Each structure stands twice: as C-alpha cells, then as structure tokens.
Amino acid sequence: MANYTGYTYFVTENYLEFNTPINENVEFNQIRPHIRTAAELWTQSILGTYFFNDLLTKYNAQTLSADETTLMTYIQPAVSWRAAAESMIGVTVGTLTNKGLQKQNGDNSESVDDSTIKFINKHYNQRAEFYENRLRKYLKDNKALFTVFTSTNNTDSDLKAQWTNNYSQDITFIGKWNNNNRCNNQFGELDS
C-alpha cells in the first residue's frame, strides 16, 4: 500500500476558507487531519480505493486530465463539507492534549451548547450529502470518461465504488438509546 502522508486530500486551506464557514482564524493544523479523514471515510467509498488513490496521486503531482479536473469540482465540495463536519468536535468542543480533553475558550468568545453543535454538525453533513450525491450522479452519467474508475482494479479494490448513499452507517448518533438498542434521534423518530 502506498504511503500518502503529506499529501493534500483534494482541498487546500484557501479552498476551505472560501467555500465553507471555516475561516482564517481557525488554525489549519486543527482542520488538516479532518480533511484526510473526510476524504478517506466518505469520498473513497464513492470512488473506490484504486480510483481514489489514482486521483490523489495525480492531484498532488498536478497531472490530472481535463476530465479529472472537472471531476475535482464535484469532489472538493463534498470533502470540504465533510471536513467541516468532522472538525466540529475538535475545534468547537476541545482538543486532546497531554492533559486530556481541553475545552476551547477565548477572551471574546463563548462556547456553544451541545444542541447547537449537533444542529450545525447535521447541517454541514447535509451539505456534504448533497455534494456527494452530485458526485455519484456525475460519475454514473460520465463513467466512460474514467477508465480507472470502471476498471477491474477498482471494482476489486479495498473499498468498491458505491452508487447509492450509505448514510445509515453514519458514526455520530444524535439522541438517546432506548431499551431496544435503537436511537431516538432529535426528531423523535426511531433509527433502524
């Protein structure tokens, strides 16, 4: 397996600042690991591992084809909004230090409550889902342009490309567990 340490995972600091609510006051080193996580957890499952790694290598070498450059206009917003959602806990609530989890605080700021964090996180994830669905549709409609995407190397790769969303496997549960091991979410519905 190739080592992708030090790679840019499809989005830059400038891209995030101009296309998400993350601004220049947030230290980019707090966001960077969440970009990689977002790309690997969510985008890789859409593209398939082989195609994902191929695009990642070309993106960092600046050797994308014209079609792959167009594809980036679908990948980048999906990764950006997932990274914004993924970074919410670390940036808003706190960071893990040698003293344990530390809550963020500033002289002229006030921390938000848990329900606000959950609401914003859900909002960011909904935006990510929108862009991920656009990416899926674009790939489905234009798969002939991407031979690496449709190759047997990609269909036999670690994560195979997905045509449908798989959000029932989301990691964050909002709500409380009931006696039947099901989560009552914030809308009063039972998650299956």
Dist CA 89 CA 111 (whole Å):
12
Domain that holds residue 99: 13-103+110-184
What pLDDT score was predicted for residue 34? 80
Residue 119 has pLDDT above 90, yes or no: no
Given this model, what pLDDT does residue 57 score?
94
Contact 117, 124 (CB under 8 A): no
Question: Residue 185 pLDDT more than 50?
Answer: no
User: pTM, whole model, 2 decimals?
Assistant: 0.74
44 in any annotated domain: yes
Query: Does any domain span residue 1?
Result: no
Mean pLDDT in residue range 43-52: 92
Res 35: pLDDT: 85
6 inside domain: no
Q: Is 191 among the domain residues?
A: no
What are the residues whose beta carbons fall under 8 Å from the beta carbon of 86, sequence distance 6 or more?
34, 37, 38
Residue 176: which of 85, 123, 114 has the closest Cα? 114
Domain count, the chain: 1
How would residue 75 be classed by pLDDT, with cut points 50, 70 and 90?
very high
Question: Above pLDDT 70, what percent of the chain?
Answer: 64
Beta bridge partners, 96, equal: 101
* DSSP SS3 for 39: helix
Kindly state whether residue 3 falls inside one of the protein's structural domains: no
Average pLDDT for 182-189: 43
> In whole numbers, what is the pLDDT of the chain averaged over residues?
76
Q: How far apart are CA 130 and CA 125, in angstroms?
A: 9
Contact 51, 148 (CB under 8 A): yes
Rounded-to-integer distance, Cα 13 and Cα 24, Å: 9
Q: Where are the beta strands (DSSP E) in 131-181?
A: 176-177
- 4 lies in some domain: no
Average pLDDT (103-126) is 75
Q: Is residue 8 part of a domain?
A: no
- Residue 144 predicted with pLDDT over 50: yes
2, part of any domain:
no
Tell me how many degrees the CA angle 38-50-35 measures, rounded to the nearest 5: 15
